[in-house]
Structure 1
Amino acid sequence: MIASSPGLRVKVTTLLKEKVLFGNEPSPELAAILLVYFVQGILGLARLAVSFFLKDDLGMSPAQVSALLGVAALPWMIKPLFGFVSDGLPLFGYRRRPYLILSGLLGTTAWVALATIVHDVWSATAAIALGSLSVAFSDVIVDSLVVERARTESVQDAGSLQSLCWGSSALGGLITAYLSGILLEHFSNQTVFGVTATFPLIVSLVAWLITEEPIDHATDWAAIREQISQLRKAVSQRAIWLPTAFLFVLQATPTADAAFFFFTTNELGFQPEFLGRVRLITSLASLLGVWMFQRFFKAVPFRVIFGWTTVISTLLGMTMLLLVTHANRAIGIDDHWFSLGDSLILTVMSQIAYMPILVLAARLCPAGVEATLFALLMSVVNLAGLLSYEFGALMMHWLGVTESNFDRLWLLVLLTNLSTLLPLPFLGWLPNAEESQMPQTMILPEASAEPIENLGATNSELVTELRQ
C-alpha cells in the first residue's frame, strides 16, 4: 500500500489538473490567484445588504442608487495606474505581495466603516468606493499573473485559465448566495457588513504564496519609460483599438438593474430570503455558463459568439416585460417562479457572453506590456460599465421611474434591452475567424518584438460584486 501511494498521488494530481483546474498545473501561486478571485465572489454576502441599506436606511431613489454604483466603480477605471504604482513603487523590495496585503486591509476598513460609522449618502459612497478600490487593486495584481500564464496557453487551451478564475469567483458567490438573504432576515445590514469585513483579510494572507523575487532597486524608471513606449506602440495598432472600441460600445448600453431591484422589493414584495435564493440560482447559473463556454464555445470565432449572444441576450431580456407588466400572472406563472427561471436563463447567457471579453482582452496584449495593456483594456470596459449605470440613471429620471412609480418601467426595460443591439453593426471591428485562431504574436508582431520584464498589472470585471 505504501508503494502504491506515489502512484495514487500522481493519479490524484493528474485528475485535479485535468478535471478541476482545466489543465493548469497546481501550485501555491495558482491557489493564491484562485483564492483572490474566490474572495471577490464571496464578498457577494453583502450585496443584498448594500442594496437594502441604500434603499431603506438612506432612502435613496432608483436613479440615485444607479448613479452611486457608477461612481463607486471609479477605481476600476484607473486600473492601469494601479499597475504603474505596483511596478514603479515597490514596497520593501516587492511589487506584488505588499500591495495584496494593503488591498485586503483597505477592504476590511471599508466594510467596518459601513458597519459602524456610515450614516449618510456621501460617507456611504466613499466607503463603497474604498471597498471597490480594494478589490480593483487586488484584481490588478492577480490579473497580471493570469495574463502572463494565459500567454503560454496553446490555441486549444485558450481561455482555460480565465474560465478557472471566473469559476472560482462564481463558486465564492455560490457559497454566500443564499446566506446573503437569510442573514438579512435575522440580522441588520450593519451586522452583515461586519461579517463581510473578515473576508478581505484572506487576500492579505495568501499574498505570501505569490512567487516573487525581491528587487534591489527602488524604481526602474528606464523600464517604465520602455513600457510606456511599447504601450503607446501597441494601442496605436488597429488590431488593438478597434476591438477595444467594440467592447466599449458593447458594455456602455444603459442598464435598468437598480430600478428592477426596487420593483421586485417595493412592488412585488420579494423578501431578502427569496432574493438570496435568486442569488443562489444565479451563482449556479454563472458556474454553468463558465462550464458551457469552456466546453462548447471557447473555440468559436469572436464575431460569431458576440453576434449571437447579443441577439439572444436581447430577446431573453425582453422576458422581463412579462414580469413588470404582470403578464406572467395571466398565464398562470407566479412572480417568484418566473423570476427564478428568468434569472437562471439570463445569467447563463450573460456569463457565456462575458467570457469572450476576457479572452479577447488577454489575446490582444503583446509581450512586454501584457499586464498593463490588459489593465487598460479592462478599464475601458469598466468605464463603459460606469456609463451604463449613469445612462440608466438618466433614463430612470427621464421616464419618471421612482421607488414607488413603476408605470413606465416597461418602457425602460424595452429601451435598455433594444439598446444592447447597438454594437451589432460594429462586429467587423473584431478579429475575423482566422485571426481569432492565430497565436497572439502572429496577430501583433510589432508590439511583441522586444519583450521586457512585466511591469504592469490589472477582473472581475467586472468584477466587483457591485458590477455583477
Structure 2
Amino acid sequence: MLAMEVEQETRTSTSSRKKNRYFGGGGRLKCFGVDLSPDNVAVAMVYFVQGVLGLSRLAVSFYLKDDLHLDPAETAVISGFSALPWLVKPLYGFISDSIPLFGYRRRSYLVLSGLLGALSWSLMATFVDSKYSAAFCILLGSLSVAFSDVVVDSMVVERARGESQSMSGSLQSLCWGSSAFGGIVSSYFSGSLVDTYGVRFVFGVTALLPLITSAVAVLVKEQRLLGPARVQNVLLGNPSFLESSRESIIQLWNAVRQPNVFLPTVFIFLWQATPQSDSALFYFTTNKLGFTPEFLGRVKLVTSVASLVGVGLYNGFLKNVPLRKIFLATTIIGTALGMTQVFLVTGLNRQFGVSDEWFAIGDSLILTVLGQASFMPVLVLAAKLCPEGMEATLFATLMSISNGGSVIGGLIGAGLTQVFGVTKDKFDNLATLIILCNLSSLLPLPLLGLLPGDDSDTVSEGNVDIEMKSN
C-alpha cells in the first residue's frame, strides 16, 4: 500500500501532537499501553473482525466436502483461488491513497469493504449451490478482508511512523491481540454451530460480522477532501496523475530489484511455496476418523491459543536471534514434528495408547506454536527490507509475494494430492503425501545465504517499526 502524502514542513510540527493523540492521551483508557482513542478503537475492531471471521472456515470446509461433494484436490484449488485478492495488496493501497470515495480515503473504503463482505456471505447463506458460485463468493469475501486489511494497515503505519520501537510494538500488540481475541471467540462456536444449525446458518451469522467494519469507520478521524477534482483527474487520465503513478511504479521496481531486497524476497517466496497436504488431512480426519465439527472447533480453539503462545515465544526468546538461525532451526524442527501426522494416518498413535482425538489436539498445538514462531521472522525481515519513504508500499508488495508463495504451495499440494490418488474416501497414499510435503520444506534451506547476514540486524528505527501482520 502507498503511504499517504504529507507535506514535509508539517511533519515535524505535528509529530508530537500525533504521539499524544495515538499513544499518550491523558486520562483515557489504555490497552497494551495504547490510548484507546476513537481511531485506535476503529483499528482494533477491524482486526477483531478479521479474527472472528474465522467462524466460517470450518463451515466452508464442510460445505465443500459434504454439500458439494468435492475431492480434496478440488477443495485445495478453491482455497488457493480464494487467496488471489491477497496477491495484489499494493493495488488496494494505491486505490485508497489516490481515489477518495465521497471525500475520504479510509472511511469510505472500510464501509465498502464491510458491505462487500456482508454481501458475499449472504449469498453463501442463500443462493450458492455450485462449486463455481461458491468459489466466486469466497473470493469476494477474501477481497473484502484483504482491502480492509490494507486500509487499516496504512492507518497503523501512519501512527507508527516517527514513534519509538516500544510505542510501535504496543500498537502492534493491540492489533495482534484484537485479531487473536476474535479468533479465539469464533473458534469453538465455529464447530458447534455447524453441528447444531448447519453450514447455511453459520454463513448467515458470518454475513453480519463485516458490518462491524462498516460501522466503526465513522470513528476514523479523517479530514474530508472537498471537491471531486482528484477523482476526475484519475477518470479523465490527467497527465500529472499518470506521471505520478508511473514514477511510483518505477520507484517501487527500483527498490525491489536491489539485491539486498530481491534476494531475501526470493527466499521468502520459495520458503512459502512448498506443497501442503492440509485439505487431504482434513478429509481423512472427518471421513475416516469421524472427527465432528464440534471437535474440530475445539482443536481450532487450541490452535488459536497456541498461535498466541508462538508469538510470545518469538517475542520472549527469538527476536534477538539472527534470522538465518531462526529459519534453519524452525524449518528442521517443523519438518521433523510434521512427520508425526503420519502416526495419525497409520494409527501408530493408538498402539502407544493415545487416542486419535488427543493426538490431534497435541499435534496441532505443537505445530501451531512452531509455525507462528517461524512466521514472525518473515514479517520482521519484510519490515527490514523496506527503505525509508516507501515502507507501506514495499511492505505490502513483499507480503503479496509471500502470499503468492503460499498460493503456489497450496496448488502444488492439490496437484500432488491428485497424483497420489487421495480422494474423499481413498487414503492409501496419504502418508506418502504427508512425508513428501514435509521433506519439501527443507528444499529452501540451501538458499539461506540469500538472507541478510548477522551484521544486518541493525537497521533504522523507522524500518523496524513497520512490523505488520499477514493472512
2:388–2:463: 8 Å Cα contact kept in structure 1? Answer: no
Task: Give the distance between the partners of 1:52 and 1:442, measured in 2 at CA.
Answer: 42
Matching of residues 214-233 of structure 1 within 5 Å = 214-216=224-226, 217-218=229-230, 219=233, 221=241, 223-233=244-254
Aligned counterpart, 2:205: 195
Structure 2 residue 371 is the aligned partner of structure 1 residue 371: no
| Aligned partner of residue 181 in structure 1, secondary structure | helix
More off after superposition, 37-46 vs 360-369: 360-369
User: Offset at 1:224?
Assistant: 3.2
TM-score, scaled to structure 1: 0.88
Query: What does 1:164-175 correspond to in 2, within 5 Å?
Result: 164-175=174-185
Instruction: Identify the residue that residue 144 of structure 2 maps to in structure 1.
Output: 134
Cα deviation per residue 1:164-218 (whole Å; 9 max; x = unaligned)? 4233222111011111111112101100000011110111112222232233541
- Long gaps (5+) in structure 1: 1-9, 444-456, 464-468
Paired position in structure 2 for 1:333: 354
* Contact 2:43-2:152 at 8 Å conserved across structures: yes
Partner residue, 1:124: 134
> Are the aligned partners of 1:163 and 1:355 in contact in 2 as well (CA < 8 Å)?
no
Aligned to 2:58: 48
Aligned-residue offset at 1:427: 1.4
Q: Structure 2 CA distance, aligned partners of 1:159 and 1:305?
A: 20
Taking the TM superposition and a 5 Å limit, the aligned residue runs for 1:223-372 are: 223-372=244-393
> Quick check: 2:161–2:462 contact (8 Å CA) kept in 1?
no
Residue deviations 1:81-106 (CA, integer Å, cap 9, x gap): 11121122111222111111100000
Aligned to 2:121: 111
Any idea what the Cα deviations from partners look like across 1:416-468, whole Å, max 9, x if unmatched?
A: 1111111211112112222122216799xxxxxxxxxxxxx99753x1xxxxx
Aligned to 1:94: 104
1:413 is matched with 434
Q: Could you tell which deviates more after superposition, 282-291 or 213-222? A: 213-222
The 1-side partners of 2:314 and 2:463 are apart by: 24
Q: Where does residue 434 of structure 1 map in the other structure?
A: 455
Retained in 2: the 8 A contact 1:46–1:180? yes
Which deviates further from its counterpart, 305-314 or 183-192?
A: 305-314
Structure 2: any 5+ residue segments left out of the alignment? 1-22, 234-239
Residue by residue over 1:119-147, the C-alpha shift from the partner in whole angstroms, topping out at 9 and shown as x without a partner, is: 00110000000000000100111122233
- The residue number in structure 1 matching 2:236 is none
Provide the C-alpha distance between the structure 2 equivalents of 1:86 and 1:307, rounded to a whole number of angstroms: 38
From the superposition, tell whether residues 237 and 148 of structure 1 become closer, same or farther in structure 2 (CA, over 3 Å): farther
For residues 424 and 13 of structure 1, the distance between their equivalents in structure 2, rounded to whole angstroms, comes to 50
Question: Cα offset for 1:78?
Answer: 1.3
Q: Compute the displacement of 1:278 (Å).
A: 0.2
Structure 1 partner of 2:88: 78
Do the aligned partners of 1:306 and 1:353 also contact (CA within 8 Å) in 2?
A: yes
Which amino acid in 2 is paired with 1:111? W
Amino acid at match of 2:95: V
When the two structures are superposed, what TM-score results if normalisation uses the length of structure 2? Answer: 0.87
8 A contact 2:51–2:179 mirrored in 1: yes
More divergent stretch after superposition (86-95 vs 293-302):
293-302
Q: 1:403 aligns with which of 424, 427, 430?
A: 424
CA RMSD, 1 decimal: 2.5
State how far apart, in whole Å, the 1-side matches of 2:277 and 2:159 are.
Answer: 36
Specify the code of the residue in structure 1 equivalent to 2:447.
F
What CA distance in whole angstroms lies between the structure 1 residues aligned with 2:219 and 2:244? 26
Q: Give the fraction of aligned pairs with identical amino acids, expressed as a percent.
A: 54
Change beyond 3 A, Cα 1:27–1:175: same
1:212 aligned to which of 219, 222, 225 = 222
Using a 3 Å threshold, how does the CA distance of structure 1 residues 440 and 249 change in structure 2: closer, same or farther?
Answer: farther
Q: Structure 1 pair 181/129, CA: closer, same or farther in 2 (3 Å)?
A: same
The one-letter amino acid paired with 1:57 is D
Larger CA deviation: 295-304 vs 131-140: 295-304
Shift of 1:25: 4.5
